[in-house]
């Protein structure tokens, strides 16, 4: 088969050129010489590619892609690869969603302190003075003393959204 591939490229290029020249003739008759000449120029490119050997490369590429898709349909090992690739995509998207929500992200020293002060208790107590500032570290400490259950809820942002919503409602005079 490799002996026939060098002749297949120029033959394929010539066939595509003939089809393109027929289309260019129709375009020349309907739209004029300028459009027809541009069509002839485009039509000669497959022949040039075939004579340079590029059409042989394209032929091999198409044959390899066809062989890949045929093996994809009939080979269970390839389906396993597709399943692993799909799992990788799902994990990538899930990690991005978790990172956007702040779930499972380790904070630096200053960032963690800022996040504790920005919790729901600080948002509610912000108008009341020091009560909100004193309430946030206590909830974080008590959560660590109880095994991290309450601290984990604060890190996941479960009530943080409601605190922000309540602040917005108060800002607009809705209570």
The full DSSP string for 19-82 is HHHHHHHHHHHHH-HHHHHHHHHHHHHHHHHHHHTHHHHHHHHHHHHHHHHHHHHH-HHHHHHH
The predicted pLDDT at position 164 comes to: 84
Question: Which string of b and e fits 46-78 if b means at least 16 CB within 10 Å?
Answer: bbebbeeeebbebbeeeeeeeeeeeeeeeeeee
User: Which of residues 162 and 83 earns the better pLDDT score?
Assistant: 83
pLDDT at position 29 is 95
Give the pLDDT band (50/70/90) at residue 45.
Answer: very high
Q: Is residue 46 scored above 60 in pLDDT?
A: yes
Is residue 126's pLDDT more than 80? no
pTM of the model: 0.38
The pLDDT of residue 172 is 86
Please give the pLDDT value at position 19: 96
Angle at the Cα of 45 from the Cα atoms of 42 and 50, rounded to 5 degrees: 155
Secondary structure of residue 107 in the 3-state scheme: coil
Q: Are 49 and 55 in contact (CB under 8 A)?
A: yes
Check residue 139 and give its pLDDT: 46
Sorted by sequence, the CB contacts under 8 Å of residue 6 that are 6+ apart come out as 53, 56
Proportion of the chain above pLDDT 90, given as a percent: 33
Residues 6 or more apart whose CB falls under 8 angstroms from that of 36 comprise: 24, 25, 27, 28, 29
Establish how many alpha carbons lie within 13 A of residue 142's alpha carbon, considering only the half-sphere containing its beta carbon.
9
């Amino acid at each position: 088969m490799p002996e026939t591939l060098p002749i297949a490229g120029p033959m394929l290029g010539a066939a595509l050129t003939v089809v393109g020249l027929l289309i260019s003739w129709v375009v020349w008759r309907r739209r004029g010489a300028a459009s027809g000449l541009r069509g002839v120029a485009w039509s000669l490119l497959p022949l040039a590619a075939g004579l340079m050997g590029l059409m042989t490369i394209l032929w091999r590429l198409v044959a390899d892609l066809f062989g890949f898709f045929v093996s994809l349909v009939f080979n269970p090992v390839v389906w396993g690869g597709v399943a692993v690739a799909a799992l990788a995509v799902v994990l990538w998207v899930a990690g991005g969603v978790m990172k956007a929500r702040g779930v499972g992200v380790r904070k630096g020293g200053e960032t963690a302190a800022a996040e504790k002060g920005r919790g729901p208790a600080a948002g509610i107590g912000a108008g009341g003075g020091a009560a909100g500032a004193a309430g946030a570290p206590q909830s974080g400490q008590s959560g660590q003393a109880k095994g991290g259950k309450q601290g984990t809820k604060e890190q996941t942002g479960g009530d943080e959204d409601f605190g922000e919503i309540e602040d917005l409602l108060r800002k607009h005079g809705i209570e």
